[in-house]
Structures are given as C-alpha cells and as structure tokens.
Amino acid sequence: MSKKLIFLIALGFISYSNAQDKAEQALQNFEQKYPQEKIHLLFNKSSYVAGENLWFKSFVFDGYNRSTISSNLFVELYDRNKTPISKTIFPLYNGEGSGSLSLPETLKEDVYYIRAYTTWMANFNEDFQLIQPIAVYNPSSNEKLVSDTTSPWTATVFPESGTFIDGINTKFAVRLQSNGITPSDWNGYVIDSENPDVKIASFKGFDQNVGAFSLTPKSGRRYQLIVQDDKGIKQNIDLPTISASGINLQVKSKTNAITYSIKSKNYQHSSYKVLGTINNQLVYKAQIHNLSNEAVYSIPTDKLVNGILQLTVFDDKEQVVAKRLCFVQPESLKINKPSVQYTSLNDTPHEANTFTIAKNPSYSSYSVVVLDGESQDAEEERSLLSTLWLTGDITSKIYTPAQYFAKNHNAEALDALLISEKWKRFDWNTLISGSYPAIKYTPESYLSYKGKISGQPSGSSDLNFISKTDQDSGTKLYQVSTDASGNFTFNNLIFEGTMKFFYQLSGKQKTSHPVNAYVQPSYAFIPYKSNLPAGGFQLVERPSNDPLPTEVAKAVETKNFQKSLNEKTNTIEEIILKGQRKDDKRKLNQQLSSSLFRSNNEEIFDFVNDNKALVAGSNILQFLEGRVAGFRLQMQNGSYVPILRGGVTPIFLNEVKIDPSLVTNISVADVAMIKVIKDYFSGAGPGGGVQAIAIYTRQGGDIKLSEEELKLLPGLKYITLNGYDKEAVFNNAVYENVSLKNIAKDTRTTLYWNPYLETKANEPTTVKFYNNDDTKSHTLLVIGFDENDTPLYYHETRP
C-alpha cells in the first residue's frame, strides 16, 4: 500500500448513524483493498521509422506514489486492426523500469499502438491501461501519414456539478472532441431561441479541448449554444432543460483554499453531507444543516497534495445530489527542481557538452534525456506530470495534456476541463450498494512458474535447481518443495533471455526412478478487449518523388547512423558506455540480492570488484559511518546501534534479520557487498520497510561448484525458462572515440538517453553528451523521486 500524503479534514462534523456512514465505509473498503495503478512511459523520442528500436522508461504509480504492488510490466505493440506485433515483459523496481521494442523493418507506414499494463490493472476498467498511439514512418510504403485535420469535431456542454436550475447563475464548460485534430481557434455564444439575434453570453476557447461561459437561466426559456471554428464551421447545441428545483455546487480552487457554495431552489432536506476524495481516499467531510445560498465553505489546502479533488454532496437519504471535480492548487505545483549547471555548452558539430546536477542525498538516480532542441518532444504532448495528475485517472481524449502543468499553464482552462469530466475510478451508488471489482488476477513476485515432477518418492520432496548462463560463469542454487502430488512453485526469479535450470532431488531423496520436471509460467499476457482509440492521422496515397518531411528524413538518416555507430563500437574491446550497461557492481547486486531487497534508493559497497576492501579487524558499521549520508552509530547498552535519518536501522545478513551486536562476529574477509537501503523494500516482512543495512557474504548468493560437480551438470536433466525481454543497448555517440571520426551523417534527435543515471550523495552528478551535425539548442529532461515520492522534474530548452 502506498504512503498517504493527504489527511482528513472534518468541518461541522456530527456523528452519523451507521446507515448514513455507508458511503464512508464503502470508500474506505475500496481504497484499502482495491488500490489503483497507472502508467507513464517516457520515450526516447516522439516518432519512429520502421527498423528502429523504441526505448522507454516506465513509471508505475499507485495513486500519486510509485507503486510497490506490481513487479512486472507488460508492453505490447498493435497495428490499427489490433493485430499484435510484439509482446514483451520487463521488471519493475519500486515502480520504475526500462525497456525497448524492436520495430520490424517490414512495418508499413501507419499509426501503431503501445499497450502497457500490469496484471493487477487487468482487474479494473481497461480504459485505465496505457494505450499510446505512435507514428511509424516507412518511405518505401505506398501510403503516407498526414495529420487528420478533416475529421469533424463535436462540441458538448457541461453545467457545473451537472445541474441547470432556474435563477442560479451557472458556469458551463464546452468540450471539443474529434477523431482527428480539433481546432485551436474557436469561439461560441449563447442565444435565447425566442430572440436569436441577441448574444446572451459569449466566449473564446481556451485551447483545443475546452472553453467556458456563465449564464443565469430563466424558467420557460430555451437556450442554444453556437460554436464555430476559424474555418466558419458551426455547430448548434441545445443547453439542458432548466429545472425548477435542485442543487448547484459551485467550486473555486485557490492557492490557500478550495472554496465552495451550494445553491438551492425548491429543494430542502434536513441536512447535507459533503465528502471530498483524492485518489479514492477521503480527505474532507462536512455536514451542513441550514443550507444558505450565500454561505461559502472553505477547505484549507496546506495538508492536501496536488491532484484531482472530487467533491460530492449527499442529501439526508445518502443520495448524490451534486458532484464536481477540481484540481488542488493548480498554480502552486509541488515539484522539486534540480539545480542544473552547464560547465560547457556549444553548438559545434560532434563537440562535447557537459552539465552537472547539484548533489542531493535524497536522490539515488535520475532519468535523463537530452534532445536536439529543434526536434519533436514526446513530453511536450504527454508529460509525466500530466499522467500523474490528470490522464492517469481521466479516460477521455485530451489534446496535449502536458500543457496544463507546463510553464505559464492556464489554471482556468484546467478547471473548465474538469467540469466536463467525471471520476470513473468508482461510482458512489455502486460502492454504497456493496458492489466491488472482482479480483481475478493477483500481482506476481517477478518471474513466477508453477510446475510438477513425476517419479518422485512418496510424499513431499525438495527439488534443487541449479542455474547457469553462457554469459556468466557463476551458478546459483534454488531449492523448492513439492507437495505430495509433485506440484511446486518457482518464484521471484529475475533474468533476461533464456536460462537453463538443471535439477535433481535433494540429498537422500534421490531415487533410481527418473525424475522429470514440467514447468509453465504463472504469469500471462491478458487479451485487450476494447477498441483502439483514433490515432490523429490519416493514410493517403504517396505521390512519386514525394519529399520526406524533415523529421522523417532525419529519422531515416539516424537509423543508418546508429547502424554504422553500432558496427564501429562493436569492434572496440571496451565499449561499455557509462550508465548504459550493467557494471560489475550492478551485476554483483543482482547475483547476491533478491528482488525483495531491491530499492530505487540504495547505496552499494562492492568488495568483490572494488580494490577498496574491508580491513581485517575493522567494524563493518564503523566503515559505513562517514561514507553514507545521514548514517551514524549510537552506543546503547554497550553495543553500537545504527541510526539512519534519525531512526534505528534494521540489519540483515544474507537477507536474514540479525541483532546489531552480532555484526562483530562476521568475518570481514567473507563480506562481498554491503547495501544501504533508503527507500521502500518488501523484504522487511509484512508491509515492507523503508530502510535497512543488508550485508552479503561471499557465500550469500553465488555457489561455487567444484570442477567435478560442474562436469556433472551436463548429465543432469534441465528445463529452459524464458525470462524478461532483453533491453537493447542505447549507444550514446562518444566522439572522443577515434573510430567515429569518419562516420555517416549524424542527425540524431536524441543526444543522450539514460533511464538510470546513478548519483553520488556527496558530489554533483555529471553528464556529458555530444552534438549531432547541426545542433543549435538542447532540450534537457531530468526526472527523479525522493523518499516521499515528491516528483523532481526539469524540462528546459537552452540555446
């Protein structure tokens, strides 16, 4: 369960009877048992050509925090007919992961769709899964993609809180939708059907999504809205029928408070209940006895997070009478921003540029992308912030949602947009009736398999699996137990590609009868049932000698450049580029620690590959003091107690919790790795933990088989299991390499890509990237999360 950053505010609260508490009780049950995940994919660029690789960094959230629910991310590629082209699976560590998709050379030019989801998300509405259209160009195709500017648009009107009542001034949102591109320049006005020549109210659209106006209706009148674009295309929309009675909820979101008023006419109950929810969690509750049209109520925002607040008004029968969405503090976004300093910046072809990110011990890694400043930027269309705070919870099509959280964003436009939306994560009436989602799929523990053996002795058995890869001379032993029928589970595996697992019964359980193991994955790709959305493009016949758009021409040249770059760098003995391939330390971490002891915020001390070894007789905990920010030793009852960030830190030896006093009994010569965990990890037991010191001995992970034992492995039976899909290596061109002097034309739009840029707590983080042939400006994107999951976000273009 994610950390809670929002608090219940109760105003005018008086105890309710059990019947009147149904809504709160139902919501609490839903929020605790049915957490909701959402996904953002950061792409290395916005469009592609057939034959390229597509790289992405994945962020999976549980509400507004990185999710610890799922450990696997499923990513699929479809054509416009929903025919699957590829299906891949990648691991998640504390809600983050990365991967790549290969776009076949044979793909015809068209719009394709990336689907991303977790197994847990498949229990809920498919509309909340990520479906991302991407344009894939192929100059050899007979048809080409063009923006769809001809599909008709439609306008819909939405009265604030859903009611339109005689004599109550009401704010309306006007929403545009289209299978193609909606107009950016449009306006509208309201007329009375009895006097059509007089404009009662008029407005200009805020953007391609929404506009707004206000109107005080009079009973018996019929109002009509006329909307027109800059091409003169018009639509006439009838406003809702005016009600003689009802309630209208009016909301204003300000920096210090959200204020609301409840206007009523000919509608009176003994009391009303107002509930406010953020991310399916109750954050506000009030009871109003004497309803007044002049009363204004205030919800302080100092204890609320940025996000969508749903205010709902119930009558004394606990029936919903009005509801409204608004955004908390739209003009005061709680985003951390790193201090970025360019130490060298130029526009000379192939020259190096260097910048630093100021040291900050709250961050163990960043996702960093540098783009040619003149190229298209996928984050300008859909940003991490817009996914986190808007589109991850709103299922309708929104054009360029990133604009609502960019510099100089229009808070009034965002408010109008939310008037036109409904919260679809749950429905109050459904919850109160006791109807909840049916849970069919449970999250896996990374790669999980179920199997059965035949030929075992009677009763349960222990089965040993020994893994060995061609790339790694190390071996690892796993032991699983079978039931009396020979069934077993094989969980918590993390490996790429395929791997052989040799197996045999353990110890005295060996039998002269042949033992055969049959294994199949416990996880599965889940079919997508919904229709794919419109992609915003049309296919038209490609004329002969048709010139390629600049962006497409660059992409074709970049594909050739990357091919030449890979061929040249593959001939170099040491081509491991910093931050792109797993170094020895990361490999050791994967060998020794299980996924339960993985965290996005961890500091690793490697005594296998690093010359800096522990000195015999030294104290392991004293070694960490002065090397780990916020760590100190405190003497308690004659023993040292580790303190990290003000709290006593548990110690694990080979992932078994031990008393701090036992650390001195560990032979430092046997220590292979020490890991200081500073964020959530699940290995601490029920509910997980947020910090730990994990000590691994040289016998803690790998096992060393004798030469005789290694010779016996080929004689054992084995199974071959499919692991995670391999992520292609992203080759950042390093022009200091002399072999790159005579290379194809460099038109790269992505100048630097690093989904996991590791930081050092006590010094700035340095990034070096190289220009293409004609770079004049750079767009820099830096994303990170601190221990409280507050987003760090930097998105700037510099000349």
Please list the rounded mean pLDDT of every run of 10 residues in the chain (799 residues): 51 44 93 95 94 96 94 96 96 93 96 97 96 96 94 97 96 97 96 92 97 95 96 96 95 94 89 94 92 92 94 93 96 93 91 93 91 92 97 96 95 98 95 94 90 74 75 66 88 86 73 77 93 94 90 89 76 38 66 78 80 59 78 76 85 85 76 85 74 79 52 73 91 80 84 91 89 92 92 92
Burial 491-500 (b: 16+ CB within 10 A, else e): eebbbbeebb
Helix (H) or strand (E) holding 694: strand 692-697
First vs last Cα of the chain: how many Å apart?
Answer: 44
331 by DSSP, 3-state: which? coil
CB atoms within 10 A of CB 296: 11
Q: Are 323 and 339 in contact (CB under 8 A)?
A: no
d(CA 352, CA 751): 11
Q: Strand 750-758's sheet: what is its strand order?
A: 750-758, 365-372, 778-785, 791-798
Q: Are 229 and 153 in contact (CB under 8 A)?
A: yes
d(CA 78, CA 113): 5
d(CA 749, CA 298): 48
Cα separation values, 671 from 432, 665, 685, Å: 56, 12, 24
Where do the DSSP E strands lie in 723-773?
A: 750-758, 765-770
Q: Where are the alpha helices (DSSP H) in 603-727?
A: 620-624, 707-712
Q: Are 648 and 642 in contact (CB under 8 A)?
A: yes
Closest CA to 99 of 70, 133, 76: 76
CA torsion 598-596-592-788 (nearest 10°) is 20
**Half-sphere exposure (Cβ direction) of 649: Cα atoms closer than 13 Å:** 28
CB atoms within 10 A of CB 124: 16
Residues near 777 by beta carbon (within 8 Å), at least 6 away in sequence: 347, 372, 373, 374, 797, 798, 799
Residue 746 one-letter amino acid:
D
Residue that is written with structure tokens 């009802």 in the block: 246
Cα separation values, 60 from 38, 75, 325, 378, 401, Å: 6, 13, 24, 18, 18
pLDDT score, position 570: 55
- pTM of the predicted model as reported, rounded to 2 decimal places: 0.85
Which CATH fold topology does 584-697 show? Ferric Hydroxamate Uptake Protein; Chain A, domain 1 (2.170.130)
Residue-range domain boundaries for the chain? 447-522, 584-697
Tokens of 461: 């058995």
DSSP 514: -
The DSSP secondary structure of 281-306, one letter per residue, reads EEEEEEEESS--TT--EEEE-TT--S
pLDDT score, position 679: 78
pLDDT score, position 705: 53
Q: Are 56 and 44 in contact (CB under 8 A)?
A: yes
Summarize the chain as % helix, strand, coil (round to 5). 15, 40, 45
d(CA 770, CA 779): 13
Q: Are 340 and 355 in contact (CB under 8 A)?
A: yes
Cross-strand pairs, 441: none
d(CA 382, CA 402): 5
Cross-strand pairs, 111: 135
Residue 129 one-letter amino acid:
Q
pLDDT score, position 613: 55
Q: Where are the alpha helices (DSSP H) in 396-522?
A: 411-419, 428-432
pLDDT score, position 461: 79
pLDDT score, position 578: 36
Q: Are 58 and 117 in contact (CB under 8 A)?
A: no
Tokens of 210: 């929404």
d(CA 588, CA 402): 39
pLDDT score, position 628: 82
Q: Strand 320-327's sheet: what is its strand order?
A: 9-11, 281-288, 272-278, 308-314, 320-327
Phi–psi pair at 112, nearest 5 degrees: -120, 170
Tokens of 775: 């770079």
